[in-house]
Amino acid sequence: MALPIYASPLQTAWYYGFRFICAVIFFFLIFPIMVIIPLSFNAQDFFTFTPEMLAFKAEGYSTKHYQDFFTNSDWQNALRNSLRIAPMATLLSVSFGTLAAIGLSQSHVPFRRAIMAILISPMIVPLIISAASMYFFFSRIGLQGTYMGVVLAHAVLGVPFVIITVTATLVGFDKSLTRAAANMGAGPVRTFFKIQMPLILPGVISGGLFAFITSFDEVVVVLFVGSAGQKTLPWQMFTGLREQISPTILAVATILIVVSIMLLTTLELLRRRSERLRGMSPG
Amino acid sequence: MKMKTLMLGGAAFAMTATAAMAEDMTIVSWGGAYSASQKAAYHDPYAAKEGVNIINDESSAEAVAKLRAMSEAGNTTWDVVDVVAADAIRLCDEGLAMEIDADTQLADAPDGTKASVDFGDLLVSECFIPQIVYSTTFGYRKDLVGATAPTSVCSVFDTAAYPGKRSLEKRPINNMEWALMCDGVAKADVYDVLATDEGQSRAFAKLDTIKDDVIWWSAGADTPQLLADGEVIMGSTYNGRLFALIEEQKQNVGMLWDGQVFDLDGWIIPAGLSDERKARALDYVKFATDTQRLADQAKYISYGPARASSAPLVGQHATLGIDMAPHMPTDPNNAKNTLLYNYGFWADYRDDIDAKFQAWLAK
Amino acid sequence: MSNTETVLASDGSSLKQSLARSLRRQKIRALLLIAPLLLFVLLTFIAPIVDMLFRSVENSIVQETLPTTVVELASWDAESGNPPSEAVFEALARDLKVAVASKSHTRLGSRLNYEQTGVSSLFRQTGRQIKKLDLEATPSFKDAFEKMNKRWLEPEVWTVLQAFSGKYTDGYFLAAADLTRGADGIEVVPEDEKIYFKLFLRTLQMSMTITIMCILLGYPIAFLLATLPLRSSNMLMILVLLPFWTSLLVRTSAWKVLLQQQGVINDFLVWAHIVADDNRLELINNVTGTVIAMTHILLPFMILPLFSVMKTIPPTYMRAAKSMGANDFTAFRRVYFPQSIPGIGAGSILVFILSIGYYITPEIVGGTKGVFISNRIAYHISSSLNWGLGAALGAILLVVVLALYWMYDKFVGIDNVKLG
């Protein structure tokens, strides 16, 4: 939408006005996240910029909140729990989800719409309802407050993301490829691993990343379904926001922002790769 | 692939975690500075003496809900739970906590006084072993309240003399009492008045006068943080939180002891534990509530020990080296005008007044 | 049939049969692939929800705790204004003796206290005293109960007990709709106790505001992204996706830091002399805080579907309109905008569905006026322990969400949800 040279003054004004509006909105999107980063180096224990910080004096800044994060056993336990739970939950939702997505993308699936609606529902049902329901139900079957319980709950929440991303890669999937493989004598299993898997892999991985981040960020369900032994990073952050005056959360937040940037980059690279593989134009 | 190693690592973690379960003991408490004081005064010495591994669960705020769900499921995973007295009474009523006989199952005072006498009136339920007396009281920003520091709880309702935001807990308990007391109801009549519809309307009318100036809190740390950030000029919270704010973090905040409401916090043991776990839990509470241990806790946090015999043993703060006695809510200088949480009244009226309170908040 | 030659497949059976068989096999294979996940979701997600919904009508506690009393009381006439017969009192004494031994009487008391204040203490007090009562040596149970507490002779307690003696109850749903079962049937609760209707209304209003804010802010961004050259739009897309991928708690704490009275925004405004130091804006702990923070959190959910719809609108249409004499605005309004409406629809429903059930963000930045119905549900589940009411409120919320979900599926299609 470059500005043509024959544009009238009004058009020019609108062109720059519109860009300005967009810049303001982008600022609104990004600023709250970026503001956390300098604040996490606050030498004081509070959530605001101190006069020393605004004057860019060295004594206004410190890495003490990062030290706290890396030495405090509560935070380290929380990190460890998150890293124990999220990969298992991801593994479950990706393996079940990929199979189901392949099933769903076949040409003749009875009750496809209804099945799809059920599989996507964990994303739609308000978290508080899911959390309360699982809390009661899991208590009843002895899963409340167990590692397995939290993993299962998080796996279910990750399922819709896997289904959505994997079916999306399968939409552009050229069926003649599997037929060709079958024609040349490959069994269904061999066809799957040699033909389908490499092609849908980017979708599977990005679904997996979504499932991972769902579990890694999730707080409502783990608050209800988990107990002290499963206290995750977001749970500890939530307690931190409500219980203790601890800007360590800002340090954790900064670390998490860096993690999201890394995940996002991975995802972007995968998307490009997937589109190249499927012969679509990039973008 | 990296993912795979991560997953395998996760699985391995899961297995070691289940294998180590056997000699663990789960103690549920509030978290924060309070749990830290319990860890120093009770858990660490007990673990060193008995060789058990104590797991800290910070779920006291949801203890009643979780215990009820656990008992419905027939699978109680907690061994000892720290709750406020009102919750202990509720748990005892519902048969979710076991009854404990103070004289036979708890330690006597060093001079031989029976535990039931030593705890006295504070044994408000058969299932409850009191640990501390704490109070909900007000702190104020010395630099924001003007020339005359507030000396009465009614300053909270005086927006002319003390303009600015104040923080109150987002529940009717305590606020309704303060409102009535500051509306001219004698302390002795507060609950009789509050039991009537007119009395409740009167309390709400009084609260209405400051409603626009109130920030409502739901966690004990909110008020200290709001005070530190200068978001409020005064606010109610637990006295121990204010102590930490004033003495440990050196904030410019003063204590307003007038009209403080005493409450109790202590242990219960869930009903339905196996004999082995029950014996272990009883052994722990007997250890943790003896005279010396209760006095020890006061070294780390400014809550008054529940045993009469512990009071003389209260010494200095473990790291600050200041005398703790003047910071106890029960100190005669601080306890000139106090109220005791009325457990019976709130057990009955809590749901009803709470519905009205929420409707009033939403208006 | 007879005049068409049957085409045979390679194994000699008719091709038609063979095709049907192959189709059936395909269907079965597809279902087998889906089955593990479907079963998994049904067991760990759908079953718990159904189980919880059941709690909103479940009321067996009265029958289980006072089995004989309930039977005896059935014939009592609540209209009469008299206390029930001696037989009822005797049944109550026997039932309570058993209940007290298992401590279930106080739980029943708390249950009935939801319907009538004071029943809880009545049961607790009577429970303590009934231990001393000798069942065989009591001449009049009615007198015995009167001695324990005068309230047993008043019809109110009995009316409640009779009204809620069934195995199932609509009491929780009535309460969730600000109704109550009084002496003359269903009535509206007093004005000062009405809360849920207001709360639902406010939840809807706030979600609506947030959705509109998202449209207003999301549309220009999506338009810009869809019309810019690929390289720059990919760069800018990252600015949309980064918040999307950043932890919800990180974003919520960021807003807490920004919006406080002594926070970054107010500090800046004071520094720039836009507001006076003693007149700082109240941006948090109210509706404003919730709307700002949630608009930020949900904005990517509006931009992404809008963007994917706008990308399919060929730029040639706009050029064609302009070449035929339309000015920029008319071309946009008459040609471009109508084609982008499906994107607005998809984004709006998605944002609305997500916002209506939000819990964490309102809890932290919403204060008292900026909270949603979810916060009330959480309160009933974890602190007031009125699980039935929590479940009833949850059921109503779920119905609203599912209706929207159905709409979304009908107009947009679940398959068309795009992520990143």
**Are C256 and C364 a contacting pair, CB within 8 Å?**
yes
pLDDT above 60: residue B21: no
Q: Looking at the structure, tell me whether residues A125 and A20 fall in a common domain.
A: no
Residue C107 has which token pair?
A: 């739980």
pLDDT above 50: residue B10: no
Q: Is B276 on the interface with A (CB under 8 A)?
A: no
Torsion of CA A67, A68, A69, A72, to 10 degrees: 120
CATH class of the domain whose range is C196-416? mainly alpha
3 state SS of C272: coil
Beta-carbon-side half-sphere exposure of residue A224 (alpha carbons within 13 Å): 25
Scanning C112-151 for CB atoms below 8 A from B yields 113-114, 117-118, 120-121, 124
pLDDT above 60: residue A282: no
Q: Is C251 on the interface with A (CB under 8 A)?
A: yes
Q: Is C341 on the interface with A (CB under 8 A)?
A: no
Q: Chains with 3 or more CB pairs closer than 8 angstroms to A?
A: B, C
Scanning B30-49 for CB atoms below 8 A from A yields 31-33
Residue A4 in domain: no
Residue A283 in domain: no
B22-133+264-323 and B135-263+336-362 share one fold:
yes
| pLDDT score, position C416 | 66
3 state SS of C110: helix
Q: Is the dihedral of CA C88, C93, C99, C100 positive or negative?
A: positive
Residue A78 has which token pair?
A: 């929380």
Tell me: the pLDDT tens digits for C368-404?
A: 788 899 999 998 988 888 899 999 999 999 999 999 9
Residue A26 has which token pair?
A: 């982008």
Contact yes or no for C195 and B355 at CB 8 A: yes
Q: What is the CB neighbour count within 10 angstroms for residue A187?
A: 9
Torsion of CA B137, B226, A249, A31, to 10 degrees: 160
Among all chains, which residue has been given the structure tokens 């909110």? B222
| pLDDT score, position B335 | 87
Q: Is C103 on the interface with B (CB under 8 A)?
A: yes
Inter-axis angle of helices A127-140 and C47-55, nearest 10: 90
- What is the fold of B22-133+264-323? D-Maltodextrin-Binding Protein; domain 2 (3.40.190)
Q: Looking at the structure, tell me whether residues A242 and A123 fall in a common domain.
A: yes
Q: Looking at the structure, tell me whether residues A145 and A18 fall in a common domain.
A: no
| pLDDT score, position C3 | 53
Average the pLDDT over B106-117 and give the result.
91
Which residue stretches of chain C have pLDDT < 70?
A: 1-6, 9-10, 183, 414-420
Residue B341 has which token pair?
A: 């949480």
Contact yes or no for C198 and B201 at CB 8 A: no
Name the most confidently modeled range: B47-61, B252-266, C366-380.
Answer: B252-266
Q: Is B346 on the interface with C (CB under 8 A)?
A: no
Q: Which residues of chain B make contact with C99, given a CB cutoff of 8 A? A: none
| pLDDT score, position B174 | 94
Residue A96 in domain: yes
Residue C134 CA: distances (Å) to CA of C88, C105, C141, C272: 17, 18, 10, 80
Tell me: the pLDDT tens digits for B260-315?
A: 999 999 999 999 899 999 999 999 999 999 999 999 998 888 898 999 899 888 88
CATH class of the domain whose range is B135-263+336-362? alpha beta
Tell me: the pLDDT tens digits for B189-239?
A: 999 999 998 999 999 999 999 998 998 888 777 898 889 888 899 999 999
Residue of A232, A207, A203 whose CA lies nearest to A94: A207
Inter-axis angle of helices C230-245 and A9-39, nearest 10: 40
Q: Looking at the structure, tell me whether residues A148 and A17 fall in a common domain.
A: no
d(CA A77, CA B219): 23
| pLDDT score, position B4 | 41
Q: Looking at the structure, tell me whether residues A157 and A91 fall in a common domain.
A: yes
Q: Looking at the structure, tell me whether residues A231 and A150 fall in a common domain.
A: yes
Scanning B138-197 for CB atoms below 8 A from A yields none
Q: Looking at the structure, tell me whether residues A56 and A88 fall in a common domain.
A: no
Give the number of A-C residue pairs with CB atoms closer than 8 Å: 266
Domain that holds residue A36: 9-60
Nearest by CB to residue C121, choosing from B65, B95, B348, is B348
Nearest by CB to residue B354, choosing from C110, C262, C384, is C384
Overall number of domains in chain A: 2
In DSSP terms, which residues pair with B270 in a beta bridge? B97
Residue A98 CA: distances (Å) to CA of B327, C43, C253, C285, C413: 62, 19, 35, 43, 20
3 state SS of C168: strand
Domain boundaries, chain C: 14-55, 60-169, 196-416
Q: Looking at the structure, tell me whether residues A180 and A89 fall in a common domain.
A: yes
| pLDDT score, position C104 | 86
Nearest by CB to residue A245, choosing from B70, B77, B224, is B224
Q: Which residues of chain C make contact with B227, given a CB cutoff of 8 A? A: none
Secondary structure of chain B in HEC code, one letter for each residue:
CHHHHHHHHHHHHHHHHHHCCCCEEEEECCCHHHHHHHHHHHHHHHHHHHCCEEEEECCHHHHHHHHHHHHHHCCCCCCEEEEEHHHHHHHHHCCCECCCCHHHHCCCCCCCCCHHHHHHHHCCCCCCEEEEEEEEEEEEECCCCCCCCCCCHHHHHCCCCCCCCEEEECCCCCHHHHHHHCCCCCHHHHHHHHCCHHHHHHHHHHHHCCHHHEEEECCCCHHHHHHHCCCCCEEEEEHHHHHHHHHHCCCCEEEEEEEEEEEEEEEECECCCCHHHHHHHHHHHHHHCCHHHHHHHCCCCCCEECCHHHHHHCCECCCCCCECHHHCCCCCCCCCCEEECCHHHHHHHHHHHHHHHHHHHHC
Q: Looking at the structure, tell me whether residues A84 and A183 fall in a common domain.
A: yes
**Are C380 and C390 a contacting pair, CB within 8 Å?**
yes
| pLDDT score, position A244 | 61
Contact yes or no for C37 and A100 at CB 8 A: yes
Q: Which residues of chain B make contact with C195, given a CB cutoff of 8 A? A: 355, 358-359, 362
| pLDDT score, position C419 | 60
Domain boundaries, chain B: 22-133+264-323, 135-263+336-362
Q: Looking at the structure, tell me whether residues A140 and A248 fall in a common domain.
A: yes
Q: Which residues of chain B make contact with C205, given a CB cutoff of 8 A? A: none
d(CA B85, CA B82): 9
| pLDDT score, position B130 | 94
d(CA C406, CA A121): 11
Q: Chains with 3 or more CB pairs closer than 8 angstroms to B?
A: A, C
